[in-house]
Structure 1
Amino acid sequence: MKKKSAYFNVFPLLILVFMLTLSAACEQKDQDAETVDYDLPEQPEIATGYTSNPGWKTSEFAVAAAHPLAADAGYQILKNGGSAVDAAIAIQLVLTLVEPQSSGIGGGAFLLHWDGLEVTAFNGRETAPDGANQEMFLDENGDPLPFTDAVHSGLSVGVPGTLAMLRDAHRRHGKLEWKDLFVPAITLAEEGFRITPRLYQQVSADERLADDEIARNYFFDEEGEPHPVGHTLKNPALARILNRISEEGISAFYQGAVADNLVERVRRHDRPGTIRIGDITRYPDRETETEPLCNPWREYRVCGFPPPSSGHLAVMQILGIMENLNPPPEPLRADTIPSAEWLHQFLEASKLAFADRGRYVGDPDFVHAPGDDWQSMLQPDYLSERASLIGSESMGQAEPGEPGELAEMFGEHPVQPDAGTSHISVIDPDGNAVSMTTTIEQAFGSRVMADGGTGLRGGYMLNNELTDFSFEPKDDEGRLIANRVQPGKQPRSSMSPTLVFDSGSGDLVATLGSPGGAAIIHYTAKTLAGMLGFGLDAQQAINMPNFANFNGPSVLEEGRFPEEVIRDLEDQGHEISERSLTSGIQAVQRIEQGWFGGADGRREGVVMGE
């Protein structure tokens, strides 16, 4: 077992530790096919709830991911000479196995890459099939379906884009062979991984996962109980699927038995979807590379993802609007909790950003940006104008602004929940960086599991990404909604993978992002403000309590704010509720000695590196 310098500092008390070794048969099977030297790591049981992680210093490279086995896969790929993109691919494949509730090959992802010269963006967002239409989430009376009924159906499944996007990113920025990147995930799927408390809790709490026969046979025992924490779970179906993709390329997923099985699983559901084989086979022909959005903020250049993601636009609107306000004398209390004065400005700026998000943002292949340029929403004069609407009292609900002339007038997007997702941040030994946010939307997506037609136990979860569209095509005034369902369209996202650079030197400063549905925007903005505004390190910024406003009542992380702060916000007219805001922020920032990584203690993330 190789020594991994940053791995064992995370959890000093390891419970249910076991060591798995490859069998002679497995070694023989892989001997001719593999060049990556992959050691099965020890698999600790991980604490649930909130853990205040210490952060990790590295000198050469760093990998931050939402599960120790996924981080370890990226670590070992880099040790084998892989690039940041290589590591991200290996991490994603392992996450498909060990964090099936959050992301996987049945979903979509956005990836930002820095090669020392330029930032490139790769869009692997799911798409609506050709059979989709703007009334597909309405019942026979024309009313929206109950949200959970729509999610737990074939209707919600979009055409997965993760593998096609990763192929394109690998072609541009990969160093190792494609098949080598599958070694960790295939090995773990065959040999098994320990169920962590988080996965156990997610399975136990889900009321619909067992409705799916394949998922029931995989996640539950013969008595219908979830497999317990520490149970070794093997996934032979996923191992078979990944083996084929590693040898044949992504055609093994988008064509043939795996594609046929995906279509069958969707179309034979009690509430079937409209995906056909042609929708699947066409996805790899899409152009996944796109132009990132990069904007100045203070002494930095912040790069993020353009629409169909609303993330970067909203993050930069929040931060940009706040730059036009008089900062409070003490924005941060001594206990690293934001003051009520600073929170008031953040929450009000969030309302303004979410009002614009709900009116304007959608798939750019279907929706014209205000003034035909998404940057119109981030122009200094416009942000100054929006900031002038913030006073000393809560504005209640904000109205959209007018950042530029519109080709068509859009309606107000109704409020709908979104959740799930995972984030990966990587810095490789050459200084190349990846920020990748990846999702199947809700926990376990549509609750439909596909086994690739293998007939073996297990498989991968299919997304419910189409419920990110507006269920209603028009608002109460009869105006079409920008993010309505249309064939071939990508639903609006909140994912906010972010790369930050020093405006003067051009040096990379940080890579970061988070899961968390629409609150991804707030989590990312919070972390940027913490690191680059308050002078906190990445871990301290992540550890700050979470807060959000979606253009309505404000939400504070339960049990993390003093009564004094809550009372002061309420005195300013804010309607406050407290609930769990489970971010999963992964961030790596440059320090004088190399890199400093932070992983969110609200999930199971760790940072590894040397």
Structure 2
Amino acid sequence: MKSLSILLLLSFLNFSLAFSQNHYGKNGLVASASTYASQAGLEIIKEGGNAVDASVATAFTLAVTWPFAGNIGGGGFMVIHTGDGEVTTFDFREKAPLASTKDMFLDENGNLKSGSNHNTALAIGVPGTVAGLYDAHQKYGQISWGKLMDRAIQLAEFGFPLPQSLAKDFYNFAQNPDRFPEMQEFIRNDGKLVGFGEYWKQPALAKTLKNIQKEGKKAFYEGKIAQTLVDYIQSQDGIITMEDLAEYESIERKPIHSTFNDYDLYGMPLPSSGGVAVTQMMNMWGQLDEIPKMGSVHYYHTLAEIMRKAFKDRAQYLGDMDYAEIPELEKLLSEAYAKELLNEIDFEKAGTSDSTDIQLFSEGQETTHLSVMDASGMAVSMTTTLEQGYGVKMQSPELGFLLNNEMGDFNAVPGKTNNSGQIGTPANTIEPSKRMLSSMSPFIVMKDNQPFLVIGSPGGRTIINTVFQTILATLVYDYPMNQSIEAPKVHHQWLPDRLIYEEYKMAPETLNSLEEMGHELQMRSFLGRLMGIKFNAETGFMEGAADSGSPDGGVASY
């Protein structure tokens, strides 16, 4: 068995990998948070699969090799360029269980019960990943469903050397058994903690994946897996039922479409707020009287003020359109409205944010993104999530996969407002079967009717701004893919009223000037972990890169 695992590992590592460098291919390219997953996707393309097939294989492999955020116990969003000029999306966001109520996380005094919306089984939303991957494949894939899961099953069954990033987390879980009781079996093989470089096998997950491989999404939402999952969640005082799983459906939706110069931009519609917010910001940027120099004080100040405007609207208006009417949506997406917002900006000093009538909510930062393109021009931009790292940190030992804590993306305390940015809008209050608002922002940018840029990132609310800035760096400043991804990023989300910047990436003089303009600054080690592909129509080459901030990320191409 171990010799087979070694052979599998060697085959996976037999491709070019270098963080922060561009990788080139003419036949296919996959960028993801796991080198194993990227290679799994590329293998599918080599075997005759298209970009959708490859994205499904990559996503299932991420569920094995990147449990931090890769999942079958969570949800996400997918933007697809079908290869014939059409762009569509799949929404497989998690949903609130049928027994949910708007005040389910409050005590008798109407106050939030600490941690209840993130650290308990009540925080688990009905998972959508398996449905989304299956439905996208059934409509747009071209090779057999079962073939797509072979590599993920092999890695789960025979194991792979545990990378340092996961090993550190496993050690921390092991040091806190009282705090993370449900993780203790997950991080061990035969009772022994798996350490760095040791083979980590997941036999329960392998069995689950084999059932899904054989029966498709039905195995997850109606069969023995579903009953085992419900029994486990309810044993932990959760409220998901068999009816919740049986009624879950992914939804194919029309994308948010906008134009910028000679480009067509396609993003996710609600309940992903990224498509709306990025469109608003691109509309504002496109009407600037003067384009600031990349990296200048004026550049960062302009970014901050544009972000401030978009995030105020995000907080005030956006939610699940299937449950809340969004009467302002057409206006929010218009260039005329963008001009109004732009006219309100002072380009010499920082604006102010106030919570008088704006309410926000807390959103986890640990998602994962993959970008895929094949030789036919089909492309996929997909972002998936468990909400926080390792989700709610619960798993049925019989099934072997971690569960999300996405209910924390709803408003836990309806109607309450403060300047800390912890509460959400009326459009995002909890309702049965409703999908929680998200910041995930997978995008495909087209030029001359073919994909030009496939981009996305994890990072909670920072996703929107990191994707926005990477699109700008590529479309406006003509940066290569790796430089667009690595360029210094900033983040402003209306509330809290501060400008976040990346450690070591901005000059002290720039930071001082921003403070003099009235910005309150906060440092963060990184913003986003982008995975991107840029296509050069003249040469026919795809140019892909994985963010150096992704510890195990990589690109596979040929």
**TM-score w.r.t. length of structure 1:** 0.85
Distance 1:303 1:479, change over 3 A: closer
User: Which residue is equivalent to 1:59?
Assistant: 26
Distance 1:421 1:210, change over 3 A: farther
Q: Is the 8 A contact 1:20 1:191 kept in 2?
A: no
Q: Say which of 320, 326, 337 aligns to 1:369.
A: 326
User: Which residue is equivalent to 1:27?
Assistant: none
CA shift digits 1:445-498 (9 cap, x unpaired): 0111123x46xxxx1110001100011122359997110111010000000110
> What secondary structure sits across from 1:423 in the alignment?
strand
- In 2, distance between residues paired with 1:479 and 1:197? 36
> What secondary structure sits across from 1:556 in the alignment?
strand
Q: Say if 2:492 is the partner of 1:549.
A: yes
Q: How big is the shift at 1:415?
A: 3.9
User: Which residue is equivalent to 1:393?
Assistant: 349
Alignment of 1:315-330 (within 5 A): 315-329=278-292
Q: Is the 8 A contact 2:128 2:250 kept in 1?
A: no
- In 1, distance between residues paired with 2:297 and 2:527? 21
Distance 1:571 1:212, change over 3 A: closer
Over the matched positions of the two proteins, sequence identity in percent amounts to: 32
User: Which residue is equivalent to 1:275?
Assistant: 240
Q: How big is the shift at 1:39?
A: 5.5
Distance 1:83 1:222, change over 3 A: closer
User: Which residue is equivalent to 1:69?
Assistant: 36
State which drifts further: 226-235 or 77-86.
Answer: 226-235
- In 2, distance between residues paired with 1:119 and 1:484? 30
> What secondary structure sits across from 1:472 in the alignment?
coil
- In 2, distance between residues paired with 1:474 and 1:545? 36
**TM-score w.r.t. length of structure 2:** 0.92
CA shift digits 1:554-577 (9 cap, x unpaired): 100112211011001001000001
User: Which residue is equivalent to 2:63?
Assistant: 96
Kindly tell me the number of residue pairs found equivalent between the two proteins: 543
Q: How big is the shift at 1:294?
A: 0.6
Q: How big is the shift at 1:235?
A: 0.2
Distance 1:201 1:347, change over 3 A: farther
Q: Say if 2:464 is the partner of 1:521.
A: yes
Q: Is the 8 A contact 2:491 2:500 kept in 1?
A: yes
State which drifts further: 76-85 or 415-424.
Answer: 415-424
Alignment of 1:14-33 (within 5 A): 20-21=3-4
User: Which residue is equivalent to 1:439?
Assistant: 385
Distance 1:448 1:541, change over 3 A: same
User: Which residue is equivalent to 2:395?
Assistant: 449
Alignment of 1:325-340 (within 5 A): 325-329=288-292, 331-332=293-294, 338-340=295-297
Distance 1:52 1:104, change over 3 A: closer
- In 2, distance between residues paired with 1:178 and 1:40? 23
Q: Is the 8 A contact 1:543 1:601 kept in 2?
A: yes
Q: Say which of 419, 433, 439 aligns to 1:494.
A: 439
Q: Say which of 83, 91, 98 aligns to 1:130.
A: 98
Q: Which runs of 5+ in 1 are unaligned?
A: 1-17, 24-37, 45-50, 333-337, 401-410
Distance 1:202 1:351, change over 3 A: farther
> What secondary structure sits across from 1:383 in the alignment?
helix
Q: Say if 2:527 is the partner of 1:586.
A: no
Give the partner amino acid of 2:245: I
Q: Is the 8 A contact 1:370 1:377 kept in 2?
A: no
Q: Say which of 114, 117, 131 aligns to 1:164.
A: 131
Distance 1:414 1:383, change over 3 A: same
Q: How big is the shift at 1:323?
A: 2.5
User: Which residue is equivalent to 1:379?
Assistant: 334
Q: How big is the shift at 1:258?
A: 1.2
Distance 1:398 1:59, change over 3 A: farther
State which drifts further: 228-237 or 257-266.
Answer: 257-266
User: Which residue is equivalent to 2:76?
Assistant: 109
Give the partner amino acid of 2:57: A
User: Which residue is equivalent to 1:26?
Assistant: none
Alignment of 1:137-286 (within 5 A): 137-146=105-114, 148-205=115-172, 211-220=179-188, 227-269=194-236, 272-283=237-248, 286=249
Give the partner amino acid of 2:409: D
Distance 1:540 1:168, change over 3 A: same
Q: Say which of 589, 594, 599 aligns to 2:546.
A: 599
TM superposition outliers: structure 1 runs of 4+ over 6 Å = 207-210, 221-224, 477-480
Q: How big is the shift at 1:264?
A: 2.2
> What secondary structure sits across from 2:233 in the alignment?
helix
> What secondary structure sits across from 1:21 in the alignment?
helix
Q: Is the 8 A contact 2:315 2:425 kept in 1?
A: no
Q: How big is the shift at 1:62?
A: 0.8
Give the partner amino acid of 2:528: S
Distance 1:241 1:479, change over 3 A: closer
User: Which residue is equivalent to 1:80?
Assistant: 47
Q: Is the 8 A contact 1:202 1:443 kept in 2?
A: no
Q: Is the 8 A contact 1:41 1:72 kept in 2?
A: no
Give the partner amino acid of 2:412: F
Q: Is the 8 A contact 2:31 2:546 kept in 1?
A: yes
Q: How big is the shift at 1:209?
A: 7.5
> What secondary structure sits across from 2:449 in the alignment?
coil
- In 2, distance between residues paired with 1:154 and 1:443? 15
Q: How big is the shift at 1:442?
A: 0.4
- In 1, distance between residues paired with 2:424 and 2:408? 20
- In 1, distance between residues paired with 2:409 and 2:503? 26
Q: Is the 8 A contact 2:51 2:378 kept in 1?
A: yes
- In 1, distance between residues paired with 2:453 and 2:425? 39
